[in-house]
Structure 1
Amino acid sequence: MNLTRLVYYSQRNPSEDLDINSLIETCKRNNPRQNLTGLLHYNGDHFIQVIEGGRVEVSALYHRIARDPRHSNIILLSCTDVRERMFPTWSMALHQGMDAQTRKVFLRYFATDMMNPEAVNVDTLLDVLQDLMMETPTKLTISV
């Protein structure tokens, strides 16, 4: 089985209700059965998500997300085979908010704290997400 990593960006659809804790609980319940792992960054306006697992399972989850009315303007940033997972023990970790620490990490890599999904280098974005994990642990909710 190939190991695949998919990264996407989307905007939150403000006309749809969103309970982010319920969303993470669903991931915690469903992802382990499919051997899916990853990280979701949500700042209140947009989502950046990394999904890792088998190619078929990652693709199926992405298609469900793309149909989810809570998302709008979804952009697939990357989908590639990888040698190992970045988030091997998390069914889906959640990083929320844009506080001063988070802003500092974003500004280390980008000109502003607003990421442009059409111009982002995915490797740089993955570096940002890894730094957020390490440097802003109080903003991280981990589902195993």
Structure 2
Amino acid sequence: MNLTRLVYYSQRNPSESLDSQELIETCQRNNKRMNLTGMLHYNGDHFLQVIEGGRVEVSALYHRISRDPRHSNIILLSCMDARERIFPTWSMGLHQGMDDRAQGIYLRYFSTDEINPETVNVDSLLDVLQDLSVELSPRFSVDRA
């Protein structure tokens, strides 16, 4: 099985209700079955997610997400083969909000804490997500695979 990493960005559709705890629990349950791992950052307005796993499973999940009415203006930032997982023990981690610590992490890699999906450097974005996962781990909803 080839390992694939996909990164996407989307806006939250404000006309759809969203229970982030229910969302992450569903992600964790479904991803575990499909051997998918990753992380979701949700700041209240936008989603930024990394999904890792088999090519077929990652593709199927992305297509399901793209049809989810809670998302709008979804943009595929990257889909590539990967040598190893960045989040190997998480069926899905969740970081919510943008407090001072999270803002500091973004500003380490970007000139602003606002992500422009048309110009963002995906490698730097993956670094941000890794730093969020390490530095803010007590605030994560994490299901260890």
Report if TM-score (shorter chain) is over 0.5: yes
TM-score, normalised to structure 2, is 0.97
1:35 to 2:47 alignment? no
Give CA deviations for 1:53-112 in whole Å, capped at 9, x if unaligned: 000000000000000000000000000001100001100000111000000001111111
- Structure 2 counterpart of 1:94: 94
Percent identical pairs in the alignment equals 74
Matched residue pairs, number? 144
Tell me how far 1:139 sits from its aligned partner.
Answer: 2.7
Gaps of 5+ in 2: none
TM-score, normalised to structure 1, is 0.98
* Contact 1:24 1:143 (C-alpha < 8 Å) held by counterparts: no
Tell me how far 1:16 sits from its aligned partner.
Answer: 0.2
Gaps of 5+ in 1: none
Partner SS for 1:107: helix
- Structure 2 counterpart of 1:44: 44
Give CA deviations for 1:15-45 in whole Å, capped at 9, x if unaligned: 0000010011111211111100000000000
RMSD: 0.7
Partner SS for 2:90: coil
Runs (4+) off by over 6 Å: none
- Structure 2 counterpart of 1:119: 119
Give me the whole-angstrom Cα distance separating, in 1, the residues matched to 2:64 and 2:39.
17
Give me the whole-angstrom Cα distance separating, in 1, the residues matched to 2:14 and 2:80.
30
